[in-house]
């Protein structure tokens, strides 16, 4: 009996930061397929009470966290009426608490925007397995976060389909220098978004509805707009720099409309290794949850005969200047990526609310980045202050100029 008990698999407790978003929903779908391996220990959301309530009813987590206090009170009431014992917490401190909890094995960091930074760092400092889907953590504070990962002994696994693909085709010494693995270049693929072939006049007239209609991927509003402007790819370039120790000149973006090849790695001997699959985020999520094992994800098999062809193009950084701005910020270093990210968040929000046009997004970012004072990202407080000032500058720019 003792021998049987000792051989039983340990169920991994998972905190999902951003459980009601697209990544969170996909993560819960994968977890539900493996109840003998994973448990949703803590689920978090911003204000989406109804969806988080249904998730609590289905998965019965120990904790549910709302960033908004009123939303937390509402959720608590609904859970009490339903007779559920999930404990409800609220605020940033609560997000950090469930990220660093002793009983938690893995943290899915999927909160969109700067709000995901502190809980991701808390998970790193606590030595968790971090499934990183929050771009801003590395974009804003890449050096600080990687230091926290190393110091805390955390395991870092990228969830972005592109970085996950790179991770899969790199040598076994993950996150080693490119040189030590014989790697010449990282090739990050981009779908090109819905406006890949749009003219300048068409780009100027883009509506919110059009921007949210991505041809391949189902994502939240902010990341979908980022994909349409190619800022999403720019942020991924900055992420790749930190994840894989790659210099800007070792990172290349390739437009691949089919989104079948998720990224590639070119080796010094001329070999190019690629990871292929249907455009479904459950593949990288399942890979990271089960790593180093492969587990079933629910994703259908790739039908190469149906795809028939694979196309590749160079990105147009004139029509889509956000990609160029991201490379510029990476080369400047310090707080420049945090400033880029903050200005982009404000600009995208303004576009989604109908306050600026589609091409106003890169105009705001370029103006804020040009005027900002770049400093060393030596502490989290420095990064947060740069983020705050950039947001203020972006809002002030919109009051002065028409875009």
270 annotated as ligand-binding: no
Q: Is residue 190 part of a domain?
A: no
User: At 133, phi and psi to the nearest 5?
Assistant: -115, -10
CATH no. for residue 47?
3.40.50.720
202 annotated as ligand-binding: no
236 annotated as ligand-binding: yes
21 annotated as ligand-binding: yes
Q: Is residue 193 part of a domain?
A: no
Q: Is residue 368 part of a domain?
A: yes
141 annotated as ligand-binding: no
162 annotated as ligand-binding: yes
213 annotated as ligand-binding: no
Q: Domain of 379?
A: 316-403
Residue whose entry in the numeric block shows the structure tokens 């951003």: 18
136 annotated as ligand-binding: yes
Q: Is residue 168 part of a domain?
A: no
Look at residues 125, 158, 191 and tell me which one is the last residue of a structural domain.
158
Q: Is residue 186 part of a domain?
A: no
134 annotated as ligand-binding: yes
**How many domains are contained in the chain?**
2
CATH no. for residue 355?
1.10.1740.10
13 annotated as ligand-binding: no
Q: Is residue 69 part of a domain?
A: yes
174 annotated as ligand-binding: no
Look at residues 158, 187, 218 and tell me which one is the last residue of a structural domain.
158
pLDDT in 10s for each residue of the chain, 403 residues: 444 444 556 899 999 999 999 999 999 999 999 999 999 999 999 999 999 999 999 999 999 999 999 999 999 999 999 999 999 999 999 999 999 999 999 999 999 877 889 999 999 999 999 999 988 899 999 999 999 999 999 999 999 999 999 999 998 654 455 766 889 999 999 999 999 999 999 999 999 999 998 887 777 899 899 999 999 999 999 999 999 999 999 999 999 999 999 999 999 999 999 999 999 999 999 999 999 999 999 999 999 999 999 999 999 999 999 999 999 999 999 999 999 999 999 999 999 999 999 999 999 999 999 999 999 999 989 999 999 999 999 999 988 876 6
23 annotated as ligand-binding: yes
Look at residues 158, 175, 204 and tell me which one is the last residue of a structural domain.
158
Q: Is residue 353 part of a domain?
A: yes
Q: Is residue 180 part of a domain?
A: no
pLDDT at residue number 183: 93
């Amino acid at each position: 009996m003792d021998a049987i008990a000792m051989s039983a698999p340990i169920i991994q407790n998972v905190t999902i930061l951003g459980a009601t978003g697209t990544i969170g929903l996909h993560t819960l779908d994968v977890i539900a397929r493996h109840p003998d391996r994973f448990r949703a220990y803590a689920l978090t959301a911003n204000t989406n009470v109804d969806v988080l309530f249904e998730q609590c009813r289905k998965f019965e987590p120990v904790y549910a966290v709302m960033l908004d206090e009123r939303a937390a009170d509402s959720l608590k009431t609904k859970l009490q009426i339903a007779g559920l014992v999930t404990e409800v917490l609220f605020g940033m401190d609560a997000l950090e608490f469930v990220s660093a909890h002793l009983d938690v094995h893995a943290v899915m960091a999927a909160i969109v925007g700067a709000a995901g930074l502190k809980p991701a760092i808390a998970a790193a400092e606590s030595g968790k397995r971090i499934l990183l889907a929050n771009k801003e953590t590395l974009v804003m504070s890449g050096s600080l976060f990687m230091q926290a990962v190393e110091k805390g002994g955390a395991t870092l696994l990228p969830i972005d389909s592109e970085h996950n693909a790179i991770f899969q085709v790199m040598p076994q010494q993950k996150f080693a220098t490119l040189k030590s693995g014989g790697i010449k270049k990282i090739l990050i693929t981009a779908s090109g978004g819905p406006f890949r072939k749009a003219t300048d006049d068409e780009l100027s007239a883009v509506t919110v509805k059009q921007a949210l209609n991505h041809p391949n991927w189902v994502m939240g509003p902010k990341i979908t707009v980022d994909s349409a402007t190619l800022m999403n790819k720019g942020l991924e370039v900055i992420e790749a720099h930190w994840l894989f120790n790659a210099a800007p000149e070792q990172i290349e973006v390739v437009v691949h409309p089919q989104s079948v090849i998720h990224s590639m790695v070119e080796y010094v001997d001329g070999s190019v290794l690629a990871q292929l699959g249907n455009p479904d985020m459950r593949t990288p999520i399942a890979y990271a949850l089960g790593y180093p094992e492969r587990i079933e994800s629910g994703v259908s098999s790739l039908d190469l005969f149906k795809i028939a062809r694979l196309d590749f193009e160079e990105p147009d950084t004139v029509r889509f200047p956000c990609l160029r701005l991201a490379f510029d910020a990476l080369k400047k270093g310090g707080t420049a990526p945090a400033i880029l990210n903050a200005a982009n968040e404000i600009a995208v929000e303004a576009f989604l609310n109908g306050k600026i046009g589609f091409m106003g997004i890169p105009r705001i970012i370029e103006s804020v980045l040009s005027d900002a004072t770049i400093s060393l990202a030596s502490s989290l407080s420095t990064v947060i202050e740069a983020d705050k000032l950039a947001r203020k500058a972006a809002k002030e720019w919109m009051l002065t100029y028409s875009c």
